[in-house]
Amino acid sequence: MNALLGSLVVLATFVTLCNAQCFFMPRTYIVGDLSEDCTDADGVKHPLKSTWKTKDCNECSCGLNGIQCCNYVAKPVSYDTKKCKKIFDQHNCKFNVVEQENPGKPCIVTNWVV
């Protein structure tokens, strides 16, 4: 019983901390087209049940009803905002938190939110 209660507490914590931003693009059906591919916003076709990452730091998947995408970038929320600043690295889809006066020196971040 204690294990179940502990598991529920952990699950509730992760659900609370998870703030992923997701969106859905329904499949468009064209008469005579029997393919099961999904076409993304850039016009690229993806096979059914495939997943991929976009240049906008989204992870997408192709399903029978369309494409679902969620942003997967973890955002720093607990750090010294007076001493440090966050810088987004678009190439690696992540935030770096560094000292404002010495950007070569990383800061300690105790909490991140997706």
pLDDT at 6: 44
pLDDT at 47: 96
- Show the tokens assigned to 17: 């901390």
Whether residue 4 has pLDDT greater than 70: no
Whether residue 13 has pLDDT greater than 60: no
Question: Which of the four pLDDT bands, split at 50, 70 and 90, describes residue 19?
Answer: low
Give the position of tokens 């952990």.
10
Mean pLDDT across the chain: 84
Confidence (pTM): 0.64
Encode 90-100: b = buried (16+ Cβ within 10 Å), e = exposed: eeebbbebbee
Q: What is the pLDDT of residues 59-92, one digit of tens each?
A: 999 999 999 999 989 999 999 999 999 999 999 9
pLDDT at 111: 96
Do the Cβ atoms of 95 and 89 come closer than 8 Å?
A: yes
Cα–Cα distance between 35 and 44 in angstroms, integer?
A: 14
Helix (H) or strand (E) holding 52: strand 51-53
Q: What is the pLDDT of residues 30-44, one digit of tens each?
A: 787 778 899 998 999
Q: Nearest to residue 70, comparing CAs of 82, 61, 78, 79?
A: 61
Question: Which of the four pLDDT bands, split at 50, 70 and 90, describes residue 20?
Answer: low
